[in-house]
Amino acid sequence: MKANFSAQPEKCTYLGFDLSTQKLKAVQLNSCLDVIATAEVQFDSDLPEFRTVNGAIAGPKKNEFFGQPVMWVKAVDIIMDRLVVNGGDLSSIAAIGGSAQQHGSVYWSRQGVEALRTLDPGKFLHMQIDDTAFVLNKTPIWMDGSTENQCSEMEMAIGGSKEMVRLTGSRCFPRFTGPQIRKVYQRHARAYEDTQRISLISSFLASIFIGDVAPIDYADGSGMNLFDIKAKTWSKACLNACAPDLEERLSAPVKTNSFIGTICDFFVARFGMPANCKVCAFTGDNPSSLSGMLVEKDWLAVSLGTSDTVMMTLKQQALLEDAHVLCHPTEDNLFMGLLCSSVRDGMKHAEATDNWNTFNELLDSTPRGNYGNMALHFPTKEIVPSVKGTLRWNKDINAVSTTATTGIVKFSSPQTEIRALIEGQMLHRLNVAVDMGFNFGGNTKIIATGGASVNKSILQVIADVFNAPVYVQKTSSEAALLGAAYRAGYMHYLERCKDDSPLSYNDFISPYILNYLTRMCQPSKDSNEIYTPMLERVRSMIQSLQKTN
């Protein structure tokens, strides 16, 4: 069933933005959710004056990484012009949605808030929202892992990591926003005192379009260690553990699927956008990616990019210290499970002459189960599980072996190394998904996304380990971006819908993106027999790694 477009004129279009680490992207969709225009700004090459490397600036101390809000503002100036040049019709836009890299924070000054509210369409944005708009010109982003002390302090203040999990869905992580805010308060007390409002990068981007400081949405707010994901509000205990007078700087959060205002006069006068164009709450890239894919309750999304991300819909909050649970971006009563990590590229370089074809040939040359040879690789300290190191077991090693914590130094062949890597990765992800409460069964399907989703050898291992068919969504490489525009379209539909029972979000988008789904792999008939015993071995291997950590 498609949306009733008699209530949704065909000339209406929807605009989505995604501010990732390395670039700002935009897409315009028509009323049937087809792409009609795109544009992007690469930070390193299009804005070289900011001297970023892969969109970020390394700090003077270990594990410090920063972004520059003025660079992001200037990127908005550029991308709006590029949209027009690339055929975008900005006069037809009915609603705007957006996403951005999670966990980063922006600190508005008094001048910045005033500048937002008084934008002059005769001037570029970056000439008005300049360095004076922020009390910190360089602000921490998701790559920053320098706040371990602040994590310990916050957890201790509220009664431990389990209480942090119960309240916020995750234990304190150095990359999360709450510990970053605490570090700013401790290291830059005067700047914190002068901060009028604190935005996530997603709400910062939305602020530019509404001409005022935008509220933080539930889903992105879930990645801060400050938000009570069941009560859907800021946790007083967590706020008090983080920094003084924090709630007034964050302001009240809002539902991810909600309108937060109309487009500000700047964009109406400068770009001819409709004065009644609505702006949705912007959210984080991971929740937006989930809304950009057709992920039903029995579906699991596996993004295979520079880093791997597993996303799933959960009926209940999982109380796990080694997991991320966020508010679901499109379903009010559901949650979103999240797991990130990857080491494939390093193995490709070391064992397959840095060639994916060689990598695939080696992977395909070994049998499922790898003759009992298994490996876990965590070259840097992972979030889930909280360990660092590599452990290889051959068929003779088990949890009670004297070599359980040391394993073997290396397998005898590159093909054994490669299959051990891929199977170990996927078995670990399957275990975490089960622990988080995802129910696997006959209706389970996997959606593979990202750059490596074209690699059928890896997809076959995923199908076998998860014992479920694997599909590829053709549009999923830009899932966060499309999810932003889809949400804008859905909110516009809800606003104009005259039906007593409007479509759910998934029912709204599914008629338009089902055609983009292609089944790539089916699980082998002996998959369950081979991989079920290996699941317990992976758990034992992680326990052994935790002992050495």
Report if residue 82 sits inside a domain. yes
Q: Quick one: 34 and 101 in the same domain? A: yes
Domain end, chosen from 281, 315, 332, is at: 281
Question: d(Cα 290, Cα 106) in Å, to the nearest integer?
Answer: 24
Name the 3-class secondary structure at 66: strand
- Short-list 477, 467, 451, CA closest to 527: 467
61 exposed, middle or buried (CB, 10 Å; 0-12, 13-18, 19+)? exposed
| 241 sits in which H/E element | helix 236-242
| 105 sits in which H/E element | strand 105-108
At residue 284, what is the residue type?
A: G
Q: Quick one: 96 and 36 in the same domain? A: yes
**Candidate ranges 292-301, 317-326, 486-495; pick with highest mean pLDDT:** 486-495
Q: Quick one: 480 and 355 in the same domain? A: no
Please give the span between the terminal C-alpha atoms of the chain, in angstroms, as a whole number: 53
Which pLDDT does position 373 carry in this prediction?
96
pLDDT at position 6 over 50: no
Which pLDDT does position 170 carry in this prediction?
93
Q: Quick one: 203 and 298 in the same domain? A: no
Report if residue 41 sits inside a domain. yes
- What is the per-residue pLDDT across 437-465, written as a single tens digit (0 to 9) for each? 888 888 999 998 776 777 899 999 999 99
- What is the per-residue pLDDT across 37-60, written as a single tens digit (0 to 9) for each? 999 999 999 999 999 999 999 999
Question: d(Cα 285, Cα 281) in Å, to the nearest integer?
Answer: 13
Could you tell me if 107 and 185 are in contact, meaning their C-beta atoms sit under 8 angstroms apart? no
C-alpha torsion sign, points 455, 460, 463, 465: negative
Report if residue 422 sits inside a domain. yes
Could you tell me if 55 and 22 are in contact, meaning their C-beta atoms sit under 8 angstroms apart? yes
Q: Quick one: 544 and 456 in the same domain? A: no
CA dihedral 532, 322, 452, 367 (to 10 degrees): -20
Which pLDDT does position 93 carry in this prediction?
98
The distance from CA 388 to its chain's CA centroid, rounded to whole angstroms, is 22
pLDDT at position 326 over 60: yes
Give the list of residues 6+ apart from residue 6 with CB closer than 8 angstroms, or none.
none
Q: Quick one: 112 and 204 in the same domain? A: yes
- What is the per-residue pLDDT across 59-82, written as a single tens digit (0 to 9) for each? 999 889 999 999 999 999 999 999
Q: Quick one: 412 and 477 in the same domain? A: no
Q: Quick one: 230 and 243 in the same domain? A: yes
Q: Quick one: 162 and 22 in the same domain? A: yes
Report if residue 1 sits inside a domain. no
Q: What domain range is 32 assigned to? A: 13-281
Which pLDDT does position 349 carry in this prediction?
54
Q: Quick one: 326 and 416 in the same domain? A: no
DSSP strand pairing (13-19 vs 93-100) = parallel
Which pLDDT does position 372 carry in this prediction?
95
Interaxial angle between packed helices 148-158 and 177-187, expressed in degrees from 0 to 180 and rounded to the nearest 10: 100
Q: Quick one: 139 and 226 in the same domain? A: yes
Question: d(Cα 483, Cα 290) in Å, to the nearest integer?
Answer: 7
Question: DSSP character for 53?
Answer: B
Give the residue carrying structure tokens 């959210």: 283
Report if residue 357 sits inside a domain. yes
Q: Span 197-223, mean pLDDT?
A: 98
Bond before 385 cis per omega within 30 degrees: yes
Q: What is the CATH number of the domain that holds 459?
A: 3.30.420.40
Which pLDDT does position 505 carry in this prediction?
94
Least confidently predicted of 341-350, 390-399, 540-549: 341-350
- Short-list 182, 214, 185, 189, CA closest to 200: 214
How many structural domains is the chain composed of?
3
* Both tokens assigned to 300: 């699991």
Report if residue 261 sits inside a domain. yes
Rounded to 5°, the CA angle 335-338-339 comes to 160
Phi (first) and psi of residue 526, to 5 degrees = -100, 15
pTM of the predicted protein model: 0.90
Report if residue 7 sits inside a domain. no
Name the 3-class secondary structure at 139: strand
pLDDT at position 549 over 50: yes
Task: Please report, for residues 145, 349, 411, 422, the alpha-carbon distance to residue 345 in angstroms, rounded to integers and kept in the order given.
Answer: 22, 6, 18, 11
Which pLDDT does position 5 carry in this prediction?
46
Give the list of residues 6+ apart from residue 491 with CB closer than 8 angstroms, or none.
95, 97, 257, 258, 259, 278, 280
The neighbour count for residue 443, using CB atoms within 10 Å, is: 11
Domain end, chosen from 281, 296, 317, is at: 281
Question: d(Cα 393, Cα 397) in Å, to the nearest integer?
Answer: 6
- What is the per-residue pLDDT across 108-161, written as a single tens digit (0 to 9) for each? 999 999 999 999 999 999 999 999 999 999 999 999 999 999 999 999 999 999
Which pLDDT does position 383 carry in this prediction?
63
Report if residue 543 sits inside a domain. yes
Phi (first) and psi of residue 402, to 5 degrees = -65, -20
Question: d(Cα 112, Cα 137) in Å, to the nearest integer?
Answer: 12
Interaxial angle between packed helices 344-351 and 414-435, expressed in degrees from 0 to 180 and rounded to the nearest 10: 170
Question: d(Cα 374, Cα 27) in Å, to the nearest integer?
Answer: 43
Give the pLDDT band of residue 384 (cuts 50, 70, 90).
low
pLDDT at position 11 over 90: no
Question: d(Cα 404, Cα 423) in Å, to the nearest integer?
Answer: 19
Q: Quick one: 201 and 58 in the same domain? A: yes
